[in-house]
């Protein structure tokens, strides 16, 4: 492989928190990571993905099934619950927050979910090169960090350019499911995706119905407690020409 680059070209949508992990979280990494956490060749930074690295999906899961990818899976509540409820599908959690990854592995192990893998990496790099083209039947992004201060808006994950990245990883007819409690970001998501030739709306009216595979998380609860409305969006990947 060529030498790694020394900088990222684009702002990332996260700040890596360096807080110490508890003994239980450290143990999750030692004991459960060999099964759950994919070993990713890196590029510029610990959360990067080497542009030449490709996931062999069938060998990662030991079978071929529909693959559902969750970006920013946090503590893993949604994806562990979905993986447990849908044993015939495979799930990939993409997250940079180590304590959240540890929690996800512990809960997956307790639930006996073997159809789930995790990747500790910057999501756009996973979607744009690490996953094979059209590998995902769905991509979920729930409560993406809103970066509401004006000077930070450029860090939002769902911004111009993102639809092309997501469309590459999605199969024809695949679904992109979003939810947010931040009105201004919901409007940005909808504008950006409405303008994307690779996607079409899979909802009628202003917003999509709440996706029934989405469980309530702390972020949603906090948004509701602050009086914010939760908005879902669902877009279908237009078949490739």
Ligand X SMILES: C[S@@+](CC[C@H](N)C(=O)[O-])C[C@H]1O[C@@H](n2cnc3c(N)ncnc32)[C@H](O)[C@@H]1O
Contacts with ligand X by CB under 6 A lie at: 12-14, 71-74, 94-97, 100, 122-123, 142-145, 157, 217-219
> Is 181 labelled a binding residue?
yes
> Is 219 labelled a binding residue?
yes
Look up residue 168 and give its two tokens.
């590459």
Q: Which is nearer to ligand X, 61 or 142 (CB)?
A: 142
- The sheet with strand 136-142 has its strands ordered as 116-120, 90-95, 67-71, 136-142, 170-180, 231-237, 199-201
> Is 217 labelled a binding residue?
yes
Q: Which is nearer to ligand X, 177 or 190 (CB)?
A: 177
Select the residue whose beta carbon is closest to ligand X and give its number: 72
User: For residue 4, what are the CA distances in angstroms to 12, 38, 122?
Assistant: 18, 19, 16
CA 197, 198, 204, 206 torsion-angle sign: negative
Shortest distance in whole angstroms from residue 93 CB to ligand X:
9
Shortest distance in whole angstroms from residue 231 CB to ligand X:
13
Shortest distance in whole angstroms from residue 115 CB to ligand X:
19
State the first-to-last Cα distance of the chain, in angstroms, to the nearest integer: 32
Task: Given the residues 43, 145, 198, 232, select the one marked as catalytic.
Answer: 145
> Is 218 labelled a binding residue?
yes
Q: Which is nearer to ligand X, 135 or 141 (CB)?
A: 141
Q: Residue 233: how many CA atoms within 13 Å on its side-chain side?
A: 27
Q: What is the dihedral of CA 103, 104, 106, 112, to 10 degrees?
A: 160
Q: Measured between alpha carbons, how far is 99 from 11 in angstroms, rounded to an integer? A: 23
Shortest distance in whole angstroms from residue 224 CB to ligand X:
12
Q: What is the largest CA-CA distance in the chain?
A: 51
Q: Which is nearer to ligand X, 97 or 235 (CB)?
A: 97
> Is 226 labelled a binding residue?
no
Q: Is 212 a catalytic residue?
A: no
> Cβ contacts of residue 220 below 8 Å, gap of 6+?
142, 143, 179, 181, 230
**Positions at the binding site for S-adenosyl-L-methionine:** 70, 95, 122, 145
**Positions at the binding site:** 70, 95, 122, 145, 149, 181, 217-220
* Residues involved in catalysis: 145
């Amino acid at each position: 492989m060529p030498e790694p680059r020394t900088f990222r070209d684009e702002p990332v949508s996260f700040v890596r928190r360096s807080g110490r992990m508890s003994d239980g979280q450290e143990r999750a990494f030692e004991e459960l990571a060999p099964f759950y956490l994919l070993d990713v060749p890196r590029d510029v930074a610990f959360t990067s993905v080497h542009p030449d690295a490709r996931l062999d999906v069938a060998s990662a899961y030991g079978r071929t099934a529909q693959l559902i990818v969750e970006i920013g899976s946090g503590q893993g509540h949604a994806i562990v619950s979905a993986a447990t409820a849908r044993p015939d599908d495979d799930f990939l959690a993409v997250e940079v927050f180590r304590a959240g990854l540890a929690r996800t592995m512990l809960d997956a192990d307790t639930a006996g979910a073997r159809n789930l893998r995790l990747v500790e990496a910057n999501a756009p790099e996973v979607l744009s090169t690490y996953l094979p083209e059209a590998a995902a039947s769905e991509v979920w992004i729930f409560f993406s960090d809103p970066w509401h201060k004006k000077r930070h808006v450029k860090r939002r994950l769902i911004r111009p350019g993102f639809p092309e990245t997501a469309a590459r990883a999605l199969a024809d007819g695949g679904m992109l499911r979003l939810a947010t409690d931040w009105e201004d970001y919901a409007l940005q998501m909808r504008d950006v995706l409405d303008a994307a030739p690779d996607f079409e709306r899979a909802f009628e009216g202003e917003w999509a119905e709440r996706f029934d595979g989405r469980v309530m998380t702390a972020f949603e609860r906090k948004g509701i407690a602050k009086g914010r409305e939760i908005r879902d969006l669902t877009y279908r990947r237009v078949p490739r020409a």
